[in-house]
Amino acid sequence: MKTAKRWILSANYLVTLVIFGVIFAAATIALFAGNSYSKSRTSPGVPDGPLALSSMFTNHMVLQRGMSDPVWGWGAPGDQITIRFANHTVTTRVRPNGQWKTRLTPLSASALPHSMSISDGTQTIILRDILVGDVWLCSGQSNMQYPMAGWFHRTNLKAALAAADHQTIRLYHVPMVESMFAGRPHLTAPAKWQPCTPKTAASFSAVAYFFGNALRKRLHVPIGLIEADWGGTSIEAWTSAVGFFKYSHLKKEQDWLKHAMAYEAALHGSTAPANRARLVNAPGGYPYDFQSTLRPDPHQNPTTLFNGMIYPLIPYALRGVIWYQGENNVLSHDTHYYAQLKALIMGWRHLWHQGDFPFYIVQIAPFNYGQKWCGPNGNDAPFEPLIWQAEEKAAADLKNTGIVGTMDIGPGATQILDSNVNNIHPANKHAVGHRLALLALAKTYGWKKLPFAGPTFQSAMFHKNRVVIHFSHVDGGLILRYGNALNWFQLAGDNEHFGSAKARIVGDTVVVSATDVKHPRFVRFGWSCVAVPNLANKAGLPAMPFEAQMSP
């Protein structure tokens, strides 16, 4: 592909980021010290009136089965709050700060609609058509955000939407909202639960819908899907302050947050926005150095989207999270994505107080970002492979996490290379949702012997100037997805100058050799922004990219 064409495509992607981005800024509250937020009656965003519920609780919601679901809201200090649901009654008192919270008795799955009453003795709120099943939070950037009626039209949109009529799937879509103050996170979200119909599904995340529908079919329980995503955003924006300070050594982000908190504390409750005229990207003009060719935008700042879009959901009971993000951090030349991802996951888990809930990651798909990001040959500046490496490491190191591969989800495996790597939003969202469901079924729900991952690097060893690579997750054997020979394997000697290598399947291994590398020390597979590798297992799941040093 010509260099000029690459730069045009890169520019188109940058334009996409601008379209999706809406400038706003925030930091966080005293989580810096490890404290919890206080959702007091005097905090901004709390509904007025003697009795109010968090906006997580509306008609048509799904409660999480098997857990003591938290229910919370606000009222007059000292009032007794009584909640009745499914033949259970719980009571609590409104605290002096106007907040109340209690927990329901653990519930069994039920597709039978129930009602819930919440009363303070004077006022009663009735919620109807409530189901009990499994609730999943679906978050990330544009590949999670793309709706059923958006990019997905390339793969049978009409039929898919017509079939999206499921009364046991419920959808909750968090709008892209601003959080302008670090010390005042949003306490409620302007959203509500809705039954899944062709109309409501049309504007909902395609990945989330296909994931939820696959679970519904196999588990036969109601599924609640919470969508909170924003195209063209960095992982820093989705991470909580407690994640940065407690679970990472990311000094740049920590310094930014300290400055932001100090600036907001100096406002003494003033309503002046932290980003005056939205012309700078930090409180008091202190910049967060987001390394992109784009001018730094406030909505890329640490904690901004967490404060605005994730915090209002806490502590609603969840089964787990699916996460599809990373393209923006390729553009930032990010070499710390593992630390970022760990901070995000551990911070969310810390604040939810629900233990190590499942957190499943979608590998970002190959894309030709241009020479600055991929290098002239697609692998000289491998920032996307570094993101892949970080995603896999997080999935391997952190408890109750996993990853699904996307190396094969371009328009068609047999088409020319450029047709697969010049669309940063692959249309095949069905495959992504289906693979996430397989991962959840295997790891969360305990379905044994269910293939849920593609061939994954296990070890590489010398053997007579050849390299023998062993994989996990071969699941019936290794196959070529297309073509007559394996592709995208590379070898290097001590000089680490990589070149193309020949590779062939031998049983459950791949044997790799190169005539110009007599003593191979390093091996790569799919290690390029423009890779469209053809190795898979018989379950149809693509091999994961890797870079490794061989054992002698």
pLDDT at 124: 96
CA 242-325-362 angle, to 5 degrees, is 110
Q: Could you read off the pLDDT of 402-435 as tens digits, one per residue?
A: 999 999 986 444 443 334 688 888 888 999 999 9
Q: Which residue has the higher pLDDT, 261 or 8?
A: 261
pLDDT at 298: 66
pLDDT at 19: 31
Q: Could you read off the pLDDT of 42-101 as tens digits, one per residue?
A: 444 555 568 999 999 999 999 999 999 999 999 999 999 999 999 999 999 999 999 999
Q: How far apart are CA 458 and CA 550, in angstroms?
A: 11
For residue 12, how many other CB atoms are within 10 A of its CB? 11
Q: Select, from the ranges 256-260, 382-386, 540-544, the one with the highest average predicted confidence (pLDDT).
A: 540-544
Which residues have C-beta within 8 Å of that of residue 401, sequence separation ≥ 6? Answer: 345, 358, 359, 360, 361, 394, 395
Q: How far apart are CA 119 and CA 91, in angstroms?
A: 10
- The kind and range of the H/E element at 343 are helix 337-352
Q: Which residue has the higher pLDDT, 203 or 36?
A: 203
Q: How far apart are CA 537 and CA 298, in angstroms?
A: 43
Average pLDDT, the chain: 84
Q: Which of 70-84, 173-187, 328-342 has the lowest mean pLDDT?
A: 173-187
Residue 106 reports pLDDT greater than 60? yes
Q: What one-character DSSP code corresponds to residue 293?
A: S
For the residues 210-217, what does the mean pLDDT come to?
A: 98
Q: Which of 155-159, 218-222, 371-375, 541-545 has the lowest mean pLDDT?
A: 155-159
pLDDT at 437: 98
Residue 212, SS3? Answer: helix
pLDDT at 285: 53
Residue 271 reports pLDDT greater than 90? no
Residue 348 reports pLDDT greater than 90? yes
Q: Could you read off the pLDDT of 308-319 as tens digits, one per residue?
A: 999 999 999 999
pLDDT at 464: 79
pLDDT at 23: 24
**Please, which contacts does 473-477 make with residues 24 or more away whose CB atoms are closer than 8 Å?**
473/537, 473/541, 474/508, 474/537, 475/451, 475/537, 475/538, 475/539, 475/541, 476/451, 476/537, 476/538, 476/539, 477/507, 477/508, 477/537, 477/538
CA dihedral 71, 76, 77, 79 (to 10 degrees): -70
Provide the percentage of residues in the chain whose pLDDT is more than 70.
Answer: 80
